[in-house]
Amino acid sequence: MKFHVVTLFPEVVGAYTNASILGRAQKNKLMSVKAYQLRDFVTPAKAGARGASEWFYKKVDDKAYGGGPGMVLQAEPFVRAADKIRKGKKIKVLITSAGGKAFTNEYAKKLAKEKEVIILCGRYEGIDARVKKVLNAEEVSVGPYILTGGELPALTIIDSTARQIKGVLGKFESLEEERVASHDVYTRPEVFTHKKKTYRVPKVLLSGHHANIDTQRTKRRSGKSA
């Protein structure tokens, strides 16, 4: 699966996706992540119209029509980026947006069936609404809160979706949502002491009785006492 991320901060995307499990998955060619600098898609003729500085040449935002605080990311760079990536192919386009459709594990499973996906990272007051219409894009939200930019949501979407790609996690059993598990996990030592208080691993986990262990984990995961 190929992920294409259009952003003002491609280095943020690369720093995360080139490390650990996602980095290994890319080396094994199970998936790929490519980040694109939004400023690279400003039309040269438009930038040169005012003939000015390098700063204006790379400008991708402007004031909102109708007034209001903050700046809005312009439509043209995003559309040009998506068109260049797609090269005539039909590729699903997502826009990170606090007001978008809620991103869930089920959404990730469906997204993992796509061969390619383009993620457009919002910032400031958002992206010109015409981008969604032109590209037939879907707005997606990773939670009921506001972030300073769309890079973290994009990484969340990539990470969660990548887990659903066969081979990325090594073993299917590594998918926590597919196995019986409590959110509470333990490892050695069996007894841990801190400030004169003793904390022990629950006895059932030491019993070797797998049926009882699964029952205990299920109760803890559902919020019931074990």
Q: Which residues are annotated as a binding site for S-adenosyl-L-methionine?
A: 122
Q: Pick out the residues of the known binding site.
A: 122
Contacts of 177 (CB under 8 A, 6+ apart): 105
Rounded CA-CA distance 28/55 in Å is 39
According to DSSP, the residues that pair with 147 across neighbouring strands are none
Mind giving me the DSSP string for 129-197? THHHHHHT-EEEESSSS--SBSHHHHHHHHHHHHTTSTTSSSSGGG-GGGS---S----S-SEEEETTE
CB 182 within 8 A of CB 225: no
The phi and psi torsions of 156 (rounded to 5 degrees) equal: -65, -45
